[in-house]
Amino acid sequence: MKRRKMVAWIFTILFGLLGWFVYGLARILSSGNEYMYVGFLCMAFFIAGNYFILNIHKRVKQKWTWAIMVLIFIVPSLLYGSYDWYIRSIEIANAEGDLSTYQPYKQGSELALLDEPAALQLEENLPELDGATALYPVYAAFAEAVYPERTYSYEDRSESPVTVSKTNGAFQRLSKFQVDIIFTAGPSDEQQEALKQMEKTAIGKEAFVFFVHNDNPVDSLTLKQLRGIYAGEITNWEDVGGRNQKIIAFQRPEGSGSQTGLENMMGKNPIMDPPKDQRVNGMGGVIEKASDYRNHRNSIGYSYRFFATKMVEGHHIKLLNINGIDPSVPHIKRGDYPLTGNFYAITNGTKNPHVEPFIEWILSSQGQQLIEDTGYVPVKETDLP
């Protein structure tokens, strides 16, 4: 009997390990798509197999059978789920970049600085600023140049006049008159409808970019090919000069700045509805997904050039040329890169008397110089080479 009992335990352990191995293999091979559920089916099969093996041995009582099931499957599932959540939280946090390095008046800040005092100096009734994550280094530089020295926490919306709520959150706050100016790319149709008194002033230019993993042999796509991918008509990299692999086309939530950029690029072409796990909240999360962390080497994502190349570094991605043109500063300046667009200072009927002079200063040579020194392209020529 002891020998039979030992054999039952050995088979239990082997089936448990094999179940988790097949589950993990299914996750890797599926690259996060719907075939991941094959892993759950495998787990269910091995649970049934374990239950059968344990129960053919009369010495093993029913209550111990269920206790073993809990130990082998439920406990590891909880541990794995907790670990997976933890890794995802680190992944997104790291991917979004460290905004504290651009905080106004913070020692060691990476903000662009003027060589002389700003022509505009504000001491009180400071305009409340908010905006897209990618543009925080720009308007934080404006604040350090014009606002008085103090602590400006980008997370403290109750105390700091210079915060980051991301594009959709910034538009929501502007519609509720909680801020005076937001800095974003152009609004979506829904956002524009919500801002009845909206005035937008173009202050700089930027490239909307698409990227893939470094190992992807595709270096360039046409606008027609991009539209085909995001319409769900082109589904394999082989169709655009790559390997025979399924294209995983990540998207952002509705109302985000980069999703609006995608909508503008698509024009009247409908955008496919992606699987739930291919819609990523953070703009940096899309970059992380396209890197090699979770083996998504057959994926494609989109962002803005400065964010993807300066604010989030150390990821194994490359920017694609569009219609054979790379998204470099000279090509953005000349308008050669086909997905070049403006970013704006946007107001919504603010009563703050300093808003208009502040925007005028942004369009001055000093404000435009800060935009260029940050790494963006100004809408007006500066004295810089």
pLDDT digits (tens, 9 = 90+) for 157-206: 888 999 999 888 999 999 999 999 999 988 888 888 888 899 999 999 99
pTM greater than 0.85: no
290-329: pLDDT as tens digits: 554 444 578 888 888 988 888 776 577 889 999 999 999 9
Q: Pick from 103, 109, 199: which is nearest to 143 by CA?
A: 103
Class of domain 100-204+346-378: alpha beta
Q: Which CATH superfamily is domain 206-334 in?
A: Periplasmic binding protein-like II (3.40.190.10)
**Residue 122: pLDDT band by 50, 70, 90 thresholds?**
very high
